[in-house]
Chain A
């Protein structure tokens, strides 16, 4: 029941594609780690209900850009961000914005599955609980079930909700982390190489999941795998040496890119 039919997804997408709506707009975004500049005036817009893939060689700044979108860079010492990023109409680096509220709207899934050393149920209910999203246990149960359903994990774990989340397999753990992010009903989900620690079968499952989530969420995904970017995304942005090289439709990017560097990277000439 959680699987939306392919046709429904395409229909929803077509509707959105006609009117280009930007969920997040990054303008002249630069990031400094102490003296070192990691990102140079990046202008990148994230479209609503679209999967945007960020690609590029290691150290090109794609993860750094991703982390500016929910201010996770704040947790790093000496990190400074300039420029402007908006979520809908709110400037997320505005002093008025509460970072806690922002991160509830812009969720994140990390490279390595990082379930809390708690039960599966508590892993999911953690976010809703701190944000006060549920009145009573019945509502919380509903949120947990819905999140696990959406992450395609419900069938596998419904009989052991109160066992440890760290006891799951790597792929299941990552889907648990995605379910955990979904549970707080974010508008945007950021994924930082979510499949790099997974085997091919688990990767296929997560990719399928991303494909389905696109109907309800805006997704930005950093990936090292060109094939993955081609499979899951509609838009692709290529970073190199801290600069945005090119941002385009994924189909165009992988067949006929505008920039020579993109061409070279995709052909495997560097990176």
Chain B
């Protein structure tokens, strides 16, 4: 029986158990659910959980453990000369055996009889059935594949039987425990609590896993390139060494990328912060509720536009516009109509990214400004302060820590942004301070190092992980600092 089918049966058992358990509980209470410790549904849920949960655990354990056992048995059955070969070759042989086993499932019995003794023929036949083999199978492989199939079949049957028996035993035992005073609710809720804990740990465990894998790969990189050359190097030139030449390892200097990232981020924040803050102040303090209810969602639509679309906008509209504008200005001032702003430049990328960030700044700040208690505004107005004095001197200072937190979170978004930069600022890693020239960022280089035909163990590829972990640490610090500030601000009012 296939695993999905078993799961389906378990689901049906759960539903049946729930219904039967609920009915039984009600019957014990003589139809009056107030005589039971818990509401009848809890008894049903208790029976269902007792039936399905242990069975599911057994199923999972079996699915994980049985391949290990079967595989090692099959490998143990290889001829002695095969066992003497290297681990990699044994792995290859086993891979062949398992493809063969899959293939033989597809063949009819008489086909197996016909081609079983002729490896080349077998390969062809399987090829026509859609199972490709890497080479001609050796005779012992055919035998091993047969063993493998047989063992898998037995394992599957036993597993189905065990799982279903466990489910039925669980259902039976729990059904018998139903009584007036049985505390079904407490038990069911403990299981639900467990499920909630598992759900919340998944995100945390994933994060830890990602960080660990990045750390491992970055560790490999630092094994090839010294850390100080990476962190303090001022040249980014990861030359792809030609085959056989070991001299040109390339230079992996982080500084130009980091500088580009911070520079473009800075320009973006210079655009986003004033515009976003002013719009937040207008929305929260001056706009009428009707206008606010229309304008705020519209502003937030900006946040829903994919960043690649902003990239197009930068590439086809903003970049050429700035370039032509600079040429015109230059023409008027010096008579030489040479553009001094490149089509791809820090300015273009920063400007467009700033527009992308406006809704983050304004929406977050708007919430924070609105959260400043009305009593504070009244207090200030009651002293004869004007509305703008109240905003400047009372509301904004009170909201400031929260707003700063919001800005830091926005900044970490700016640092992580990739697509706009690729299209608007180019991919040239240069170290310079002219905002009219192209530069590039850490994220762009991560993409370009990981795309293309490169072996995964070269420093040219591994550097991506070092860049990634650096970026991760920077944004993590920003976010933690932002959270810290926001939390401090919360304490003031609650």
Q: Which residues of A contact B (CB under 8 A)?
A: 70, 72, 75, 77, 100-104, 107-108, 110, 112, 114-118, 126-127, 130-131, 166, 177, 180-181, 184
Residue picked from A110, A112, A116, most chain B C-beta under 10 Å: A116
**Is A130 within 8 A of B382, CB to CB?**
no
Do A100 and B378 touch (CB < 8 A)?
no
Give 12 new A-B contacts, CB below 8 A, not counting A117-B492, A126-B394.
Answer: A77-B289, A100-B384, A103-B381, A104-B384, A107-B382, A116-B376, A116-B398, A117-B398, A126-B385, A126-B393, A127-B383, A166-B492
B379 part of interface (Cβ distance < 8 Å): yes
By CB atoms of chain A within 10 A, which of B376, B382, B389 has the most? B382
Bound CA span A181–B380, Å:
10
16 pairs, CB–CB < 8 Å, chain A vs chain B: A72-B381, A75-B377, A100-B385, A101-B384, A103-B382, A108-B382, A110-B378, A110-B379, A114-B376, A115-B379, A117-B397, A126-B385, A126-B393, A126-B394, A130-B384, A181-B383
Report yes or no: B380 in contact with A126, Cβ–Cβ below 8 A: yes
> A103, A112, A126: which contacts B375 (Cβ < 8 A)?
A112
**Roughly how many angstroms separate A200 CA and B385 CA in the complex, as a whole number?**
32
Q: Indicate if B373 sits at the interface (CB-CB under 8 A).
A: yes
A112 to chain B: which residues have CB within 8 Å?
A: 375
B201 at the interface (CB under 8 A from A): no
Where the two chains meet, the residues of B that have a C-beta atom closer than 8 Å to any C-beta of A are: 288-289, 373, 375-386, 389, 393-394, 397-398, 492
Contact assessment for A72 and B382 in the assembled complex, using a CB-CB cutoff below 8 Å: yes
Which of A103, A107, A114, A177 is the most central at the interface, judged by chain B CB atoms within 10 Å of its CB?
A114
Residue of A nearest to B372 (CB): A117
The residues of B that contact A108 with a CB separation of less than 8 Å are: 378, 382-383
- Residues in chain B near residue A118, CB distance under 8 A: 397
Q: For residue B396, give the distance in angstroms from its CB to the closest CB of chain A.
A: 11
When C-beta atoms are compared, the residue in chain B nearest to A114 turns out to be B375
B373, B384, B386: the one within 8 Å of A114 (CB): B373
Chain B: which residue is nearest A74 at the CB level? B381
Q: CB distance A130 to B377 under 8 Å?
A: no
What are the nearest 9 A-B pairs in CB distance?
A108-B382, A104-B384, A114-B375, A103-B384, A127-B383, A114-B379, A100-B384, A117-B398, A130-B385
Q: Determine the chain B residues whose CB is within 8 A of the CB of A70 once the complex forms.
A: 382
Q: Report how far A131 CA is from B383 CA in the complex, Å.
A: 9
Mostly, the A contact residues are helix
Name the A residues within 8 Å of B398 (CB-CB).
116-117
Give chain B residues whose Cβ lies under 8 Å from the Cβ of A180. 379, 383
- Chain A residues positioned under 8 Å from B373 (CB to CB): 114
Contacts of A184 in B (CB 8 A): 383-384
Contacts of B394 in A (CB 8 A): 116, 126
- Residues of B within 8 Å of A104, CB to CB, are 383-384
Chain A residues, CB < 8 A from B378? 72, 75, 108, 110, 114
Rounded to whole angstroms, the CA-CA distance of A180 and B377 in the bound complex is 14
Tell me if B492 and A130 are in contact (CB < 8 A): no
Which residue of chain B has the shortest Cβ distance to A78 in the bound complex?
A: B289
Question: Which residues of A are found within 8 Å of B393, using beta-carbon distances?
Answer: 126, 130
Chain A residues whose CB sits within 8 angstroms of the CB of B492 once the complex forms: 117, 166
B384: chain A residues within 8 A (beta carbon): 100-104, 107, 127, 130-131, 184
State A101–B288 Cα separation when bound (angstroms). Answer: 25
- B residues less than 8 Å from A102 (CB atoms): 384
Q: How far is the CA of A29 from the CA of B289 in the complex (A)?
A: 28
A104 to B384, alpha carbons, bound, how many Å? 5
List, in ascending order, chain A residues with CB within 8 A of B397's CB.
116-118
Cα A219 to Cα B391 with chains together (Å): 28
A61→B397 CA distance, assembly (Å): 34
B38 nearest CB across to chain A (Å)? 42
Contact A100 B382 (CB under 8 A): no
In the bound complex, residues from chain A placing their C-beta under 8 Å from that of B385 are 100, 126-127, 130
- Most chain B CB within 10 A, of A72, A100, A104, A166, is at A100
User: Taking each of B288, B373, B381, which has the highest tally of chain A beta carbons within 10 Å of its own beta carbon?
Assistant: B381
CB distance from A173 to the nearest CB of B (A): 11
Q: Which residues of A sit under 8 angstroms from B383, Cβ to Cβ?
A: 103-104, 107-108, 126-127, 130, 180-181, 184
* Residues on the B chain within 8 Å of A115, using CB: 379
Q: Is the CB of A177 within 8 A of B379?
A: yes
